[in-house]
Amino acid sequence: MNAPIANPARTNPGMDEETFEQFAEQLQRYVRERLIPAEKDVIENDRVPEDILNEMREMGLFGISVPQEYGGAGLNTRQYARVVNIMSYAAPAFRSIFSINIGMFASALKNGGTEAQRQEWYPKLIEGRIACFGLTEPGSGSDSAAMQTTAVPDPDGNGWILNGSKRYITNAPHADVALIMARTEKEALPKNAHVSAFIVPMDTPGISTGSPDKKMGQAGSHISDIMLDDVKVPGDALLGGETGQGFRFAMQSLDNGRISVGAAATAYARRALDSALRYANERKAFGEPIARFQLIQAMLADSETEIYAAECMMKDVTERVDRGENTIAKAAAFKVFASEMCGRVVDRVVQIYGGAGYLAEYDAERFYRDARIYRIYEGTTQILQLQIAKHMLREWEKVHG
């Protein structure tokens, strides 16, 4: 099937502002005319239909942040966040399937990949191969550096042998490749230099995935365990060709991933609010639409105000990234605010829907369930509060210490 939207990487490798704006406008239309009507199918069958996946591939979404010199669209962070934001107005599964490629894997290649690794993997991302990101384990989540997966030098060559397991890995059941963080030193080292990152094709012997976990929401997006049992990878699978860098690469990817989650939560809050606004105008009580009642209006207005704040944060933090500023704390702050705000908005939306908000037949109930994970994955609110405070205290120390 022909792509409904031209792939911007092909039509204008420059991705200047005008071209990007045209793309963004077309993408918005695609979301409203194609993705939203397909949501019922995604929810009922718990998968993104193959024809939509192929359309997304054709549009170049799976490699949209790959630099132009490698054939990608080369979007900057502000544009990439806009794309995620536009796509996330529809059911979360549509973002989930391509967001690890562009938010985590492509950014790990950009921050840490060798030239040969970029040459090999960027084209595969652009083609639409699916990537996953293996950091979390059964025994380590927020304390990610406490991972137990090991990588030891292969006695038969210059490669590595990986053993261990990873948990809650988004897209693992569909992935062609994983970035696996593993210990290359038994003991923990300062700055978590015991961690290294490996690019591991998912068809490597010794790799298997568990069955997809049953979840509270986000139908159509799948997570599962990854088991690594004597998985042999060549020496050039080590990201950046150097041990001890894996934690830093993972954290840098997470900075980018947190912007993606913030952009998604902001859009989903907007979607839920639009739905509540429509419902409040349709539903009557005491003889008039409930939108006329001031206590309903207060919930609508508070939600609008908070979404606007998150949209401003998204623009600000992404422009700072593109200016080369250190945005670790601001990316965390955006993710915290947007995800918590989305939680408050979907809660109000259920309230505005009233009894109907509790029924699976109406959208409000699934908005409420789908939004809950935004406050947890890619760094819980609590872990990110610690990160923000660490950076505040550091700055204070620099000035006053």
Active-site amino acid positions? 378
Compute how many other C-beta atoms are within 10 angstroms of the C-beta atom of residue 203. Answer: 8
Contacts with ligand COS, 149-188, as mask; x by CB under 6 A:
----------------------------------------
Q: 171 with 222: CB under 8 angstroms?
A: yes
Q: Is residue 248 close enough to count as binding ligand COS by CB under 6 A?
A: yes
Instruction: Tell me whether residue 181 or residue 272 sits nearer to ligand COS (CB atom).
Output: 181
Three-state SS at 398: helix
Q: In the block, which residue shows the tokens 């908000």?
A: 357
Q: How far is the CB of 326 from ligand COS (least distance, A)?
A: 8
Residue from 3, 36, 309, 328 binding ligand COS (CB under 6 A): 328
Instruction: Tell me whether residue 364 or residue 373 sits nearer to ligand COS (CB atom).
Output: 373
Contacting ligand COS within 290-319 (CB under 6 A): none
Residue from 84, 125, 145, 239 binding ligand COS (CB under 6 A): 145
* Angstrom distances, CA of residue 267 to CA of 160, 163, 341, 353: 42, 39, 11, 19
Q: CA end-to-end span of the chain, whole Å?
A: 63
Q: Is residue 387 close enough to count as binding ligand COS by CB under 6 A?
A: yes
Instruction: Tell me whether residue 256 or residue 275 sits nearer to ligand COS (CB atom).
Output: 256
Contacting ligand COS within 66-125 (CB under 6 A): none
Residue from 255, 363, 365, 370 binding ligand COS (CB under 6 A): 255
C-alpha to C-alpha distance for 140 and 148, rounded to whole angstroms: 8
Q: Is residue 245 close enough to count as binding ligand COS by CB under 6 A?
A: no
Q: How far is the CB of 21 from ligand COS (least distance, A)?
A: 30
- Strand 131-134 versus strand 177-183 pairing type: parallel
| Piece of 41-49, 173-181, 251-259, 363-371 that binds ligand COS (CB under 6 A) | 251-259
Q: 246 with 220: CB under 8 angstroms?
A: no
Q: What is the DSSP letter of 140?
A: B
Residue from 5, 31, 42, 254 binding ligand COS (CB under 6 A): 254
Contacts with ligand COS, 124-143, as mask; x by CB under 6 A:
---------x-xx-----x-
Residue from 55, 225, 363, 378 binding ligand COS (CB under 6 A): 378
C-alpha to C-alpha distance for 180 and 145, rounded to whole angstroms: 13
Instruction: Tell me whether residue 363 or residue 378 sits nearer to ligand COS (CB atom).
Output: 378
Compute how many other C-beta atoms are within 10 angstroms of the C-beta atom of residue 275. Answer: 18
C-alpha to C-alpha distance for 154 and 159, rounded to whole angstroms: 5
Name residue 223's beta-bridge partners.
Answer: 170
**Residue 59, CA atoms < 13 Å, CB-side half-sphere:** 20
Dihedral angle computed from the Cα positions of residues 214, 215, 217 and 220, in that order, rounded to the nearest 10 degrees: -40
Q: What is the DSSP letter of 169?
A: E
Q: How far is the CB of 304 from ligand COS (least distance, A)?
A: 30
| Piece of 51-59, 85-93, 317-325, 376-384 that binds ligand COS (CB under 6 A) | 376-384
Please count the residues of the chain: 401
| Piece of 4-12, 238-246, 252-260, 289-297 that binds ligand COS (CB under 6 A) | 252-260
Compute how many other C-beta atoms are within 10 angstroms of the C-beta atom of residue 129. Answer: 20
Q: Is residue 239 close enough to count as binding ligand COS by CB under 6 A?
A: no
Applying CB under 6 A, the site for ligand COS has a residue count of 20
Token pair for 342: 């989305």
Q: Binding residues for ligand COS, per CB under 6 A?
A: 133, 135-136, 142, 144-145, 191-192, 247-248, 251-252, 254-255, 328, 377-379, 383, 387
